[in-house]
Amino acid sequence: MRKLRTTAIAVAGLMVMTLGTVPTATADDTAKKLNAADYKLVRTANDADYNKLVGALPNADVKAVLDDSNREAVRIPKEDGQHITPNFAAGFLWKEGDDNTTEWRPQGITTSSDALDEGVWQDRKVVLVSWYGLDGSEKKGARISFIDRTDPLKPVYRHVLLVRATTKNGHPDFESTNPNHAGGLAWYGNLLYVASTDNIEVYDLNDILKVSTANDSAIGRAANGDYHAYGYQYVIPTKFSYNRATPSQNIRFSAISLDRSTSPDSMLVTEWDPAGDGTRLFRWDVNYETRELSDVTADWAYQVNIKSMQGAAAIKGGDGPDKSWYYISRSTGDDSRGDLIVWQPGKLANIYQGEWPIGPEDMAYRPSTDEMWTVAEYANNRYVMSVTADRFHP
């Protein structure tokens, strides 16, 4: 295993502080429950273009993509992980070129424990991570890394490009999803929910499509009938999206996670704001059979005023969302370790300062192992890792 970076090894003693000891308002007496009925979405789809595209290209499933992995990740042994954070549970590092690229930045995370309650998909233990393009890759939009952790000692992965179905010159076609920050992921059955700032985009993992890799500078259908995706072997077209019903709601879909502890299961949406002014958490119930939202009207909403919230995941929701424990990641910039905040409505939050490495983003919970996962975004420190959730309490 390559040597872990010195910034990760130098871990200060963990400091647990209550909200009142820090100068910023963080889910304290300024937090308030909102009227969830005020927050409505509308489902939007382009079925005609989508169905034509899916019918025009070879189909692949998740297992086929994993079997076609072309990159090796590096497992982080527990003894090394505990130098990153004392409560380290599991994790891995990207291949060098992905760890240090300036053209892509990872944001969202979900696992096969979200997809199915038993925690495996097609007999595989899987992690999905979203990236958005910047610098030379901004035009490419967003991509998803499919990581196979069935053998945690030898994780392997492949990137898949997200696209949008179109019709051009009478032919099925596709284009980039740019702009697409892809700030959070939630995998539920065959559907992959992507928090894309202005909306939630939904992708069907039964409709992964295989294309040509002959041209890494082109996207869509070529004159000879071949399809290209900037050199990516696989693409996933947007199946539908959930948009704000009215612009005045101004919901910011910064991150998303699945909560299986509520009844029914629910999607938790997080808002990011550098100052934390008015930041909110939202929930929408999901239908176990269709895997779509049960209702486009929010089931729960809370203004928490937490600055720089990058992601959140919730557990212990059997008695309702007001009794849940909310685990929230907070980034403190590209040169300081991130915080893990644990909050229960009606209480002051506990801030576990510096628990995460630099730049933590979206979060996902794996119930079978009590692991709370995140992904770090900054080059040369892009850990994909988890801590044991039960060691952190509101």
Whether the pLDDT of residue 218 is over 90: the answer is yes
CB atoms within 10 A of CB 28: 18
The predicted structure's pLDDT at residue 390:
96
Whether the pLDDT of residue 108 is over 50: the answer is yes
Residue type, 130: S
Whether residue 98 contacts residue 104, with contact meaning beta carbons closer than 8 Å, is answered with yes
User: Which residue did the predictor score with more confidence, 134 or 9?
Assistant: 134
Q: State how far the Cα of 103 lies from the Cα of 271, in Å rounded to an integer.
A: 24
Tell me the mean pLDDT in the region 281-288: 98
Tell me the mean pLDDT in the region 340-352: 94
Q: State how far the Cα of 338 lies from the Cα of 379, in Å rounded to an integer.
A: 15
H/E segment holding residue 7: helix 6-9
Measured CA angle at 201 (ends 300, 360), to 5 deg:
70
Judge if pTM exceeds 0.75: yes
Tell me the mean pLDDT in the region 275-299: 96
CB atoms within 10 A of CB 9: 11
Q: State how far the Cα of 255 lies from the Cα of 251, in Å rounded to an integer.
A: 11
Whether the pLDDT of residue 3 is over 60: the answer is no
Tell me the mean pLDDT in the region 31-49: 96
Whether residue 119 contacts residue 368, with contact meaning beta carbons closer than 8 Å, is answered with yes
Nearest to 327, CA basis, from 310, 307, 302: 310
Q: State how far the Cα of 283 lies from the Cα of 299, in Å rounded to an integer.
A: 6
Q: State how far the Cα of 141 lies from the Cα of 358, in Å rounded to an integer.
A: 24
**What percent of the residues of the chain are helix, what percent strand, and what percent coil, each to the nearest 5?**
15, 45, 40
pLDDT tier at 27, thresholds 50, 70, 90:
low
Nearest to 233, CA basis, from 178, 172, 161, 166: 161
CB atoms within 10 A of CB 199: 18
